[in-house]
Amino acid sequence: SEGAGIEVARNAADTVKRVTQELGGKSALIVLDDEQFAENVGKGVAGMMMNSGQTCSATTRLLVPKARMAEAIEAGKAAIAGVTVGDPNGEFSMGPVVSKAQFNSIQQYIEKGIEEGATLVAGGTGRPEGLDKGWYVKPTLFANATNDMTIAREEIFGPVQVIIGYDDLDDAIRIANDSEYGLAGGVYGADLKTCQNVARRMRTGWVSINDGFDFNCPFGGYKKSGNGREWGEFGFHEYLEIKGMLGFVPAAE
């Protein structure tokens, strides 16, 4: 978390220790306006629920064209219906969250989203039907959210996603970048060149285009999402110091 990361950095300062941190995120997934729109919204909603939403890079802000908000709501609702919740030892796609404290925090965020006027598409407060104990959270989807709402600003770290409408791609990129965090992000669309152009303009350390993934790609954040990188060649750089030797003549080849 951001708070824990700040304390680590403070404790490292007295002895000038190097600190590499991967902290929080409020990542945006921009869905382009094309023939794959409904399918991509469904993928974006279902994918965010992985690990009960307890993923630092989870794309908790789903950005869609305002003109297709109703279509996005229907696609998102269908995706949520396919997320089954229960004992992870069984045949379920989503288990509980990590603790009672986290469960209670998520419930407060869901209540806040309702209070702030976002449209509750699926889920809500309380446990899923048939689960009377355990820290199980309903997979929850809000729509018609705005980027100034608490549920769009703060990291919830649970299965809660918000759909935000954009006017055009410039507006989508502006919304995506309007965050204190910059850990990850994504772009879904049929036109790869457009996806790449959008990804380049997103102020975040990791952007996945159409679910692209590679452990050799450096992972880490901008802004309050931390500093330094993991994975690939760049991950080694955090453990190295550069040494300069002046007046040294290398042996002739």
Question: What distance in Å separates the CA atoms of residue 101 and residue 106, rounded to the nearest whole number?
Answer: 9
Q: Are 105 and 74 in contact (CB under 8 A)?
A: no
Question: What distance in Å separates the CA atoms of residue 44 and residue 143, rounded to the nearest whole number?
Answer: 14
Q: What is the DSSP secondary structure assignment for residue 211, as one 8-state letter?
A: T
Locate 29 and state its tokens: 């997934």
Half-sphere exposure for 234 (CA within 13 Å, toward CB): 13
115 assigned to active site: no
22 assigned to active site: yes
Q: Which of 2, 7, 22, 238 is catalytic?
A: 22
Q: What is the DSSP secondary structure assignment for residue 50, as one 8-state letter?
A: G
Q: Which of 7, 39, 56, 155 is catalytic?
A: 56
- Can you tell me whether residue 157 is helix, strand or coil? coil
Locate 68 and state its tokens: 């297709």
Q: CA-based angle 140:144:148, to the nearest 5?
A: 95
Give me the count of residues in the chain: 253
Residues with a known catalytic role: 22, 56
